[in-house]
Structure 1
Amino acid sequence: MNVEVADFLKEHEAELLENWVDAMKKGGDDRSLSVISDEFFQDISKEFIEVAVSNIIDSESGFNQKVERFTEKVVRIGWELAFLMDGLSTLKGLILGLMRKEKDYSSEETVELITEIDRWVAPMTKQIVESYSNNWEKIVSLQKVALQELSAPLIPVFEKISVMPLVGTIDTERARLIMENLLSGVVKHRSEVVLIDITGVPVVDTMVAHHIIQAADAVRLVGSRCMLVGIRPEIAQTIVNLGIHLNQITTTSTLQKGIEKALEFTNRKIVALKEGSD
């Protein structure tokens, strides 16, 4: 790049950092600024300016590595790509303003200077966008896996009795995960009765009911009994209106009633202790 611009960036890095922080605090996105403390914002801003300057002094591979580390960090703290693009635009304006303040450029020289600054920022913009997208996809993928692992656990509550609480909507992919966790959990915990709790499922349509019936059938095939609990009045009405038959599945309105019935199936019951008994 232009030697004059390169020398200016290296010599005025500290001043650019100070001006950039002030400018972004005044005109930046409040959401991106609110997710971190002022001290951390100062640190991450310093790293941003250092990454920008490294586009001059580092090799291409070294610069790319710094951009990758920086964007991975800002994705994790919640900075949006638009905020980074605004930051680059602000940085270009600050460089141009400071350079024109130090030297009286003619109109032609100013146009050349703007072109040179744009030429310097262009590869940096491209690399940040690519790196941001890659890191974002990576984090979203990891979060999806984590949510799937937590979304349908089979929990043993008594000997031979387990509960699977379902929360949120159930699509085909999640239904597959529910089936896998259900069957592996039944074998692992040696469950004789499994309660599928749909208290947290907002809508039960034909597809959801079909998946539940399939799960119950699969549980029976491995030698256990399946119960459907947490059926609210509106859900019961929907099931009737849809003409869905749950004849082969024991149902209750609450988890408590379901556990009581599950204990009966395993020849047990909950009894109240007499006062004063040990």
Structure 2
Amino acid sequence: MPRLRSLLFVPGDRPDRMEKALGLAADALILDLEDAVAPPNKPAARAAVAAFLQHRTAAATLCFVRINPLDSGLAGDDLAAILPARPDGIVLPKAEGGASLAALARQLSGETLILPIATETPAAIFALGSYGGVTPRLAGLTWGAEDLPAAIGAATAREADGSYTAPYQLARSLTLFGAHAAGVPAIETVYPDFRDLDGLAAYAARGRRDGFTGMMAIHPAQVAVINAAFTPSAAEIAHARAVVALFAANPGAGALALDGRMVDAPHLKAARSLLAGMEQ
């Protein structure tokens, strides 16, 4: 599975921004045919995204395309336009569990990945445990805090200080556990205030602390901050290597002392996971 620390949204009807985005060190671009594109502009956006995919030169940057929802009447045209250009993945909005994942997977070929946005409808919340074992195309799970409150008539998803209200804390948590249950990366949702880089850094740090391995971005200025937040420090890497080496030197041990603290099987698993992520 490719490393997905930062995934930058780029409007599908802005080809000038797509080329610039390749130089921003994002692990992936999300070329958007859904919310960022007004209905009259969608045909032109499909053509622009397909042309960009066919002629891109920076193969190191993964390119996903966010299509319109499967039940929108637009997804078929989206896929017909972009699949011949071989995107690396499809971002599926308003996904509702394994059934949505399977329905899209049947329309794909090659190694095209799928990243569902898994919390945008009320029904989606009850399907967050159903993504595992459906298809090897699953690249991760991510969530959003905008469409769901609109779908249920909520005034907002956030408190006055910007933190999530209880229903959306639940949606975030279920996405996190649903991703790990399926054995794929959990991708944190966007931080809307693109001018507040300090707030973004704190938000991304909380995401990594909680078990997310990457985050979506809505502005180029956010990419470097997100990459830094989801990249282990030299001290973390050294500690992980020390844990692995300690257990390798003491086969069969259940718990060992390292730097004055006890480490056991969960610490070894976390250390191996961190080091494996650095190899991607």
**TM-score, length-normalised on structure 2?**
0.29
Quick check: which one's helix share is greater?
1
The structure, 1 or 2, with the larger RCO (C-alpha pairs under 8 Å, 6+ apart) is 2
Greater C-alpha radius of gyration: 1
Between Structure 1 and Structure 2, the one with more strand by share is 2
TM-score by length of 1: 0.29
